[in-house]
Structure 1
């Protein structure tokens, strides 16, 4: 179970940046929102390093001493829990192995999306009011976001079966279904409402 949990965490860390750029591209977000996501990608890339610097700063401030054989473990006088927190923070820089590549891919994807959006606005190319996605979340049979109904409809599957599979993936396999569900919710638009028929 621990190996599956580690695999899910590593996958989520690697998937974060590309997922942000995919949301921006599929939803055709405005330039300010794309700039916000660009900043999130940069912060996400360097967050483990900032966490490690914060941990060493806390160790100095609270006079915590590093000890242990092989692995550095901090012990803080009077507050043993703080030593555990600082130890975790000082080892967080290893997460940069996953966050930096993910952030770079997300940054490049968002940069491309931003350039394309800016060129479309500058050249005055009218974008359609309705999104032209190849996959739409279901409007009619949705319970939360219409993701399960859209998957079932697209590939001719049982709606109940898809819902059960998402719940099983979310609960049994350490939450892998929930991040995928949230990403599909954010990345793909709701199907367009039917045009009102004009009588007369």
Structure 2
């Protein structure tokens, strides 16, 4: 009986571990494609399901046939609106605008590692018009060995803020404290410790930023 219970425990653990790894290894920023309003700099607007590919490092959308496409001219896009959230297209990074002035953005990138070896797949790249989206165009995504060799193990958050007339970035307590003169660093270090600020929490870091610029 003890042996049976032991094997049952191992089986449950392995199943749970497999499910956890499958979820964590998703290559996308969002668990599911999100309904998105795509606003171009020239005023054009389209709607489509959108996600951000953390391995390929660009936004993708689904056409009416549910094929994933990369935007043809991403530099012409002004903003991507997903619900009440706004995203910008950065250089190989997803940027969420939390506050315009003073600037507070969250930059998302994928933490990747080599994937277990498996048979690679092929594909072609082609330009296609998305009629249902009134002129929204994209290029078909191509598969290959380079993308198949990496999996996402986590999502990194970098914060981009305005400090005076300069734009600076930070991601943890040490890099945040460097935004201030040495005389102020002791004060903010104590504040962070007393309030147990988690730099993985956008809400907590945004509140910390708000407090810091009000003093």
- TM-score of the superposed pair, with normalisation by structure 2: 0.22
Between Structure 1 and Structure 2, which shows a larger proportion of helix residues?
1
The higher relative CO (CA closer than 8 Å, separation ≥ 6) is in 1
- Which structure is higher in strand share? 2
Larger radius of gyration: 1
